[in-house]
Amino acid sequence: MRPVQLLSEQCQSGYSGPVQTTISARALAALLGTWRDRSPAYAALADRVRLLVLDGRLAVGTRLAAERDLAVALGVSRATVSAAYAALRETGHVASLRGSGSVVRPLQRPSPANERRPPPDADVLDLTNAAMPAVDGLQEAVERAVSRLPQHLGGHGYEMQGVPELRAAVAARYAERGLPTRPDEVLVTVGAQHAIALLARTLLTPGDRVLVETPTYPKAVEALVAAGGRPVQVPVTRDGWDDEALRDAFARARPRVAYLVPDFQNPTGATMPAAQRRAVTDLAARHGTRVVVDETMADLGFTDAAAPWVPFPGDVVHVGSLAKSVWGGLRIGWIRADAGTIRELLHRRSPADLGTPVLDQLVGAEVLPDLDALTTRRRGRVRAAHDVLHEALGERLPTWDAPRVDGGFSTWVNLGEPVSSSLVLAARARGLLLSAGPRFGVDGAFERHLRVPFTLPAAQMPRVVDVLGAAWEDVARLPRLQPGPIALV
């Protein structure tokens, strides 16, 4: 097909962007996970693909697997897949291009009324990101940083490793907690996600095995896989990490890198005990694994039982950030590693970007020495929202298993039934945006779980639970699946 002809047909279909890639039937089936729920098969399949698009797990421009191939991979009739794709076209999530199949399209126009989305004038509660507004005192820190900016205006401004003030502040924070650190052992990044992606490109070669928790922070896994890593999963629950599973994963896979979130793990809220941290360090040394620990939540313990943050030993790579503790709009993260690793990271960084904005770094340098004081009020507000959420869940949805946590921003709820994706879509129609459990799994697992952040003010958490309760009733009214083939009308 000639490019002009393809462009013309894309425009006629309502999709004018490039076709980026094709997802195979096998890969799409893995992403879908346990997609069947109580609704008719074609509707359940369409809903699950729709959720993958909304989550960003299926990128705009992705060509979906052919109907026949997907039907074989899922073990359903081709008519079921055809009806699902038709439903996706009707809601505007997919465009069908002649000769090119069905392609994920951007949602730029109003969707039909039968899409499950909140009305245009709804007061939407967005909990897809477990994040909060800026801490009190950030404005003053910004003003102080601006007053210090003239000291840097005479330079070129391309601070590849980071301004000296911020690297010194990060190093001092580690030293205060028992890990002696020099400023040349710190690299400032554009947030923690940038740090993880840079580490992945530096430490991994295609095909290397990477130990990851399951469930875990999905963007980190995406960065590791994009660098060629092959995930080796170790389960983590509300009770933490299983020692035997960790030992087996290190010995069996001998991973090149292990990515862990040891403090108020996202999404479970678990914290790794000191003895287990020592065991992980020993296992990594024995099997030649580089451990990367994500400490973005480390400062957010809010109960008396929360263990104080203690860094891993110096041969472990530490990733930190101010996004959760201060504000997501302050794009400051860092990597703490030995000086040789920092030099290698700088070499890898230079082709991709030219450093972190200087003014943001100066704000970070103002914030870090007073971080404990700045986050004290935040921790109080988070604890209040956590307590109100759990009280409301206990009253409205007593069959859910919603563990209390000692820190972080979310609880990992066991729903008791594999309906997380259906529940998220039902809640979305009522104005509550959440991420379904499978978003946090490598292979589409966790349909029985739902991450519920408590980052809204405590006064709003009962409303969150009210919407969840109504959505739960919506899901309960879906027709039960019957054995045998499903007739399409």
pLDDT the model gives residue 44 = 87
Question: What are the pLDDT digits (tens) for 287-335?
Answer: 999 999 999 999 999 999 888 888 898 899 999 999 999 999 999 999 9
Mean pLDDT over 427-448 rounds to 89
Mean pLDDT over 201-206 rounds to 97
CA 185/CA 166 separation, integer angstroms: 12
Strands 257-260 and 290-294: parallel
Confidence category of residue 35, pLDDT binned at 50, 70, 90: confident
* Bond into 215 cis (ω within 30): yes
Lowest mean pLDDT among 110-124, 207-221, 339-353: 110-124
Is pLDDT larger for residue 156 or for residue 442? 156
pLDDT the model gives residue 444 = 65
CA 447/CA 422 separation, integer angstroms: 9
Is pLDDT larger for residue 201 or for residue 311? 201
Mean pLDDT over 170-183 rounds to 96
CA distances from 158 to 161, 242, 361, 362 (A): 9, 44, 12, 14
Smallest CA-to-CA distance from 235 within 401, 393, 412 is with 412
pLDDT the model gives residue 11 = 36
Is pLDDT larger for residue 387 or for residue 41? 387
CB 114 within 8 A of CB 76: no
Question: What are the pLDDT digits (tens) for 147-168?
Answer: 999 999 999 999 999 999 999 9
Question: What are the pLDDT digits (tens) for 12-26?
Answer: 344 444 445 788 999
DSSP letter at 269 equals -
CB 225 within 8 A of CB 231: yes
The pTM of this model reads 0.82
Is pLDDT larger for residue 99 or for residue 404? 404
Lowest mean pLDDT among 82-91, 220-229, 394-403: 82-91
| CATH architecture entry for 139-372 | 3-Layer(aba) Sandwich (3.40)
Determine the angle formed by the axes of helices 41-55 and 78-90, rounding to 10 degrees: 50
pLDDT the model gives residue 479 = 59
Residues 208-220 as b or e (16 or more Cβ within 10 Å = b): bbbbbbbbbbbeb
pLDDT the model gives residue 38 = 72
CB 423 within 8 A of CB 38: no
Mean pLDDT over 381-393 rounds to 98
125-133+373-476: CATH class: alpha beta
pLDDT at 464 > cutoff 80: yes
pLDDT the model gives residue 59 = 74
CB 160 within 8 A of CB 346: yes
Strands 449-453 and 410-414: antiparallel
Q: What is the percent of the chain where pLDDT is above 90?
A: 71
pLDDT the model gives residue 381 = 96
pLDDT the model gives residue 98 = 66
Confidence category of residue 54, pLDDT binned at 50, 70, 90: confident
Mean pLDDT over 27-34 rounds to 85
pLDDT the model gives residue 158 = 95
Confidence category of residue 430, pLDDT binned at 50, 70, 90: very high
Confidence category of residue 175, pLDDT binned at 50, 70, 90: very high
Query: Would you state the torsion angle of the CA atoms of residues 433, 438, 440, 445, taken in this order, to the nearest 10 degrees?
Result: 160
pLDDT the model gives residue 5 = 33
Tokens representing 406 are 């000692």
Lowest mean pLDDT among 43-57, 63-77, 155-169, 317-331: 43-57
User: What is 13-104's CATH number?
Assistant: 1.10.10.10
pLDDT the model gives residue 390 = 98
pLDDT the model gives residue 10 = 38
pLDDT the model gives residue 78 = 93
Q: Which residue has the tokens 């770094």?
A: 361
pLDDT at 489 > cutoff 50: no
Tokens representing 198 are 């840079």
Q: Per-domain residue ranges for the chain?
A: 13-104, 125-133+373-476, 139-372
Q: What is the percent of the chain where pLDDT is above 70?
A: 89
pLDDT at 188 > cutoff 90: yes
Question: What are the pLDDT digits (tens) for 238-251?
Answer: 899 999 999 999 99
CB 165 within 8 A of CB 361: yes
CA 413/CA 55 separation, integer angstroms: 19
Q: Tell me the average pLDDT of the chain.
A: 88
